[in-house]
A and B are shown apart, each in its own frame.
Chain A
Amino acid sequence: MSRVVEVPAQLDDRTFDQFAAGFGSWPPEEKLLIDARAAQWASPYGLIGMLTAGQALAEAKRDKPLFTVPQSEEVKRYWARAGFFHHAADLFELHGKVPRPPTTGPSDVLLDVTPVRATEDVHEVVGKISEGATRILHGELGLELKATLRFTMALSEACQNIVEHAGTSGWVAVQAYNFRRRLGRRVVVIAVSDGGVGFRRSLESSHAKRFGERWGDGTALEAALIQGVSRFRDPGRGQGLAFIKRFLDQWKGKISIRSGTARLTIVPPWDEDVPLSEHLPYFPGAQVQIIIPAQEAESR
């Protein structure tokens, strides 16, 4: 028996739950076919979410899933340029013709899909992003020059969460694109995902007791993002997400973190997302998305 997991035509943070629901109970017992034939677009969050599923299945010692590539040549080319197929080939049995990856990525991809396994990878990510970040954030989005460095700091902290807490490796991608329907402006998006232990299990031994029966994926996310708690006894820990949140407040940005069956969002004025969603379909690890919008003309 095999199970077909359909990739939504537009795979992003909003449709991700539909993708996660396709796996049923985790880890699924059946052989999986991930069907991306009808895919028309995937955000960085969607691309690395699919890789996270493949990685988590491999770590759960499941058969290598089949993956049917998008039918659209344009979509395939874009996914190839973003580095998706390069990594997907290790995690899935790819079906369908995959274009050769170009030597350089598209200009709006600040950081193509990149694995984060160790501290050295965080250094590499930070080094690679610096030049492109100035061009996009300052040149295109109209943020002050100093925002570029704060953006890189936020990226560094988000990637370190994988190394420090996930108990496994993960993925990061950074891209700029037009957010026409939801905002009508360009945005830059950082997506970070891992298939590790997730926030609830990471914090459970040190913090679950004081929450009693309320303890769950949602309360764990609130404890980490709002209260700045950490599993480490070191009082200096837990400040990274608080700093990201402060940076995003300044630039009217958005952060959402999905872990297990919950998703917590700091909702900016331009968005109508739900602050806390619980009882979502389970997905392993943690998925973080940070969106920084172009500044409105009057605030430039």
Chain B
Amino acid sequence: MIQTIRIGRLLRETVTLPYPCLVTRPTGAAVRNRIEAALAHSDCHTAWLDFSDVELLDLSCADEVVAKLLLAEPVTPAPFLVLRGLREEQHEAIEHVLTHHRLAITATLYGAEAPCLLGWASADARATFDALIARDGATPAELAVALGWPEGRAREALQALVAYRILCSDGVRYRPLRTA
């Protein structure tokens, strides 16, 4: 099951100004608190954080909302997180802060369907992510064949992505998160 959290709506509930601009650290922290409250009551497998009705996201808010959400101690069991509806400059701001913190997340750009890996990840992790998206899941052995790698290398890259909560696994197959 998937829960959609509309960030623009949380922003409107947090500040009374008419502009859909997610700026300043106090505003970002307030919006993050509301996201955390929503996630604490969620029994969903995945939560989509939808930024499509946010006009502007500054770097401070990218850090307060996204990076600190990923850095926080998660509720148990925590839903997997996906960012959706990101405009190019929002993507850039979030990428900047996640790279700074060595964090990563699955995201889709505004109007796009294909997901991307946003933030800090090794070249192997990125290649693995792309290969899994193309196949909608794989075992380490299948991935190793597809990428021409030894199985151990494929398994290691998959496990790194699981640790980032970018992939889910039933112990045999590894799957990307649902983004559409």
Contact = CB atoms under 8 A, between A and B. Distances in A.
Given A127-B19, A236-B63, A239-B100, A152 B25 contact: no
Given A146-B89, A243-B93, A123 B23 contact: yes
Contact of B24 (A123, A152, A236): A123
A160 B24 contact: yes
Contact of A164 (B25, B58, B68, B88): B25
A160 B25 contact: yes
A127 B22 CA distance: 11
Interface in A106-156: 119-120, 122-124, 126-127, 130, 146, 149-150, 152-153, 156
A127 B17 contact: yes
Given A149-B87, A160-B60, A236 B19 contact: no
B171 interface: no
Interface residues of B, number: 29
Interface residues of A, number: 24
B178 interface: no
A239 B23 contact: no
B101 A149 contact: no
A240 interface: yes
Contact of B89 (A120, A127, A149): A149
B63 A149 contact: no
Interface of B: 15, 17-19, 21, 23-27, 55-60, 63-64, 67-68, 87-89, 92-93, 96-97, 100-101
Given A127-B18, A149-B89, 15 more contacts: A119-B25, A119-B26, A123-B17, A123-B27, A126-B58, A127-B21, A150-B89, A156-B24, A156-B58, A156-B60, A157-B58, A160-B58, A236-B68, A240-B59, A243-B93
